[in-house]
Chain A
Amino acid sequence: MALRRMRNRAVPAETVPVIPTEVIDGGAIPDNDPLFALLLATGGPVEVDRITITSPALDEIRQQGIQLIVPLISQGELIGTLSLSRRLSEQPYSTDDRKLLAGLAGQVAPAIRVAQLVRQQEAQAKERERIEQELRVAALIQQTLLPKELPQLPGWNIEAYYQSARAVGGDFYDFIPLTEGRIGLVIGDVTDKGVPAALVMATTRSTLRSIATQHDDPGKVLALANESLVPEIPPAMFVTCLYGILNPETGDLVFANAGHNLPYVRSADGVRELRARGMPLGLMPGMVYEVNSAKLDLGETVLLTSDGIVEAHSADGEMFGFDRLMELVGKDQEEEDLISQVLEELRRFRPSDLEQEDDVTMVAIRRASSALESASAFGDEPGLISTFTYPSSSGNERRAMDEVADVVAGLGMNGDRLERLKTAVSETTMNAIEHGNHGDPAKLVGVDVLASTKRILVRIRDQGTAPVPAALIPNLEAKLAGEQGPRGWGLFLIEKMVDVMRTATNDGHHTVELEMSREGD
């Protein structure tokens, strides 16, 4: 007895029900074979010899010596057949035999159908799980490699946004610390999606990182990255990428572009594009990349984007497009948060029930027009406003005090609170010079000023390794009685001058953090 599978759209051929062991699998009857319709119409056992239609499936069945076909029908669907060859007794099949087989088929068919459906669902669930798993892996690679923290550059506000599409794309951005306080800016997009794109993104990122720290010419960096990526990347894939070197002190940006979207600069006069020609990375060797430079003035913002923005579609199928993005960057000079503005426009443009087609990535780098503006852009989380370093020689505590005072006064702090912070900065710097660095001019004291809308932090760092001692509470009577030395007022004063003082020792540095609230300033 052979169990035939039906090649039926509803039941994939792979979902084979149990096949009796002694007999051969007769193969499937295609649903366009006349036999298929005949069996479905008959509904009961059919003797092969009595069938008169012409059917390729029937020819095959005849060749196999099959005498009787019993269709297995469940809910009006032919899901298989029982095929019987000649009886061992050589007798024809009797009416009773046929009744018995019809009854058997009636009971077996629904059970087989259930088994088929279960198999089918299991297979679908497995496939879904496999796809989900791949998406998770791709997302994980991407999340792991995107910067965890944004660089803190005094006088600059850097913001980044990344939203992956469901099928994670290959967008990436990176900040590479370079010598002399300069920083390498990277934004890129790998063609393709999912794990392959994520892996190429990882390779590109690490390639750029290693080359960028060895060469000062962004065109050379991209050219070398291209040479190294061509043999690494599958032929159908490539990477568009912009690489720029920013000098935060001067605002100079030198850049090269491997076929990536042009950066836009929001300036007082509107918007300008930063153009530089070059082919995407990984396509072919021997590419040369044009290098251009721009200067970002106070209050200007450069916006780096990925395809996900300009290629977003509206409900009518219209594309967001470069013109719309450029116009948006060029207007509304008052608004500082460019990324939020673009996202808002994107939300208006693309209905929320439309699935996001591609990753959306943006990096906005704004040169603050003043310390006050910088601080307000940082919101609740204090960001770096200014940074200073001093050799550990006596007198530099006053320089630190005066320089911090200038910055903090620019943030609106004045009067008694300014005087108190000045005293605390000077005392803390003096401790750093004398105790942390033992007055060795080769050792430096670092002073960072951070601010948010609510707070001002001054971090003073020396190269001491022992923990900062707890403040000894000075006692004037004991000092006057000669029981305590006349000195030792420093830490006591610092604690009294500021709202909060924190100390930390790690990686060969002491850091004392002084905090003042900006309320009342």
Chain B
Amino acid sequence: MPESKIAMTVREPKGDVRIIDIAGELTSFSEPVLAEAYEDADRPGVKTVLLNFSDLDYMNSGGIGLLVTTLIRAQRKSQALGAFGLTDHYRQIFELTRLDEAIGIYDDEQSALKGS
């Protein structure tokens, strides 16, 4: 499997919220990276995980599949999944795939934290 051109870091802006900063390409090859980041974010007491797409270069249908997998994982743990920093184009894709109904979409980090 080719190496994924992606980097993720996990931040803790509030006790019950974690932010995963995503930089690079989100494709099916990003799966181990996202899985690891999610594991890192998934601490006891965490109610919301926010995905920061501000530094996203590219996402394809494989990346969308990965988000669905992450959403299933979050729902199992009764955690809310949110996203911010999406371009209009990717927002439109979230709407078309109806991911926006299951993932809270925010303009930026501030409103995401307010909403969660």
Contacts and interface: CB of A to CB of B under 8 A. Distances in A.
Q: Do A and B bind each other?
A: yes
Interface in A380-401: 394-395, 397-398
A492 B101 CA distance: 18
B89 A416 contact: yes
Interface string A465-499: 00000000010100110100111111011001000
Contacts of B28: 487
B92 A416 contact: yes
A420 interface: yes
Interface in A418-434: 419-420, 423, 426-427, 430
A420 B89 contact: yes
Contacts of A427: 60-61
Given A416-B89, A496-B96, A489 B72 contact: no
Interface stretch (B13-21, B46-54, B63-71): B63-71
Contact of A476 (B60, B61, B68, B93): B68
B96 A488 contact: no
A398 B28 CA distance: 14
B93 A486 contact: no
Nearest to A482: B72
A368 B97 CA distance: 41
Contacts of A496: 96
B60 A423 contact: yes
Interface SS, B side: helix
Given A395-B2, A419-B89, A480 B68 contact: yes
B10 to A, nearest CB: 22
Given A395-B2, A416-B92, A480-B72, A487 B62 contact: yes
Contact of A489 (B29, B88, B92, B97): B97
A430 B29 CA distance: 13
Max chain A Cβ within 10 angstroms of own Cβ: one of B25, B61, B101: B61
A13 to B, nearest CB: 89
Given A476-B68, A476-B99, A482-B72, A394 B2 contact: yes
A76 to B, nearest CB: 95
A416 B69 CA distance: 27
B60 A486 contact: no
B111 interface: no
B96 A423 contact: no
A338 B68 CA distance: 57
A480 B75 contact: yes
A474 B58 CA distance: 21
Chain B interface category by residue count: 20 to 34
Given A430-B60, A487-B61, A476 B75 contact: no
Contacts, number: 66
Nearest to B67: A486
Interface SS, A side: helix
B102 interface: yes
B63 to A, nearest CB: 9
Contacts of B96: 492-493, 496
Contact of A486 (B2, B29, B72, B92): B72
Contacts of A395: 2
Contacts of A487: 28, 61-62, 65, 68
Given A486-B69, A493-B61, A474 B92 contact: no
Contacts of B64: 489, 493
Max chain A Cβ within 10 angstroms of own Cβ: one of B60, B62, B93: B60
Given A398-B58, A426-B60, A496-B96, A486 B89 contact: no
Nearest to A491: B61
Contacts of B101: 476
A473 to B, nearest CB: 11
Interface in B67-113: 68-69, 71-72, 75, 87-89, 92-93, 96-99, 101-102
A479 B68 contact: yes
A441 B92 CA distance: 33
A493 B89 CA distance: 12
B23 to A, nearest CB: 16
Nearest to B59: A423
List of 5 A-B pairs having minimum Cβ-Cβ separation, nearest first: A487-B65, A419-B89, A489-B61, A486-B68, A490-B61
Interface of A: 394-395, 397-398, 416, 419-420, 423, 426-427, 430, 474, 476, 479-480, 482, 485-490, 492-493, 496
Given A426-B58, A430-B62, A492-B96, 7 more contacts: A419-B89, A474-B97, A476-B102, A485-B65, A489-B64, A490-B61, A493-B61
26 contacts: A395-B2, A416-B89, A419-B87, A419-B89, A423-B60, A423-B89, A426-B60, A430-B61, A430-B62, A476-B68, A476-B97, A479-B68, A480-B68, A480-B72, A485-B65, A486-B66, A486-B68, A487-B62, A487-B68, A489-B65, A490-B60, A492-B96, A492-B97, A493-B61, A493-B64, A493-B93
Interface of B: 2, 25, 28-29, 58, 60-62, 64-66, 68-69, 71-72, 75, 87-89, 92-93, 96-99, 101-102
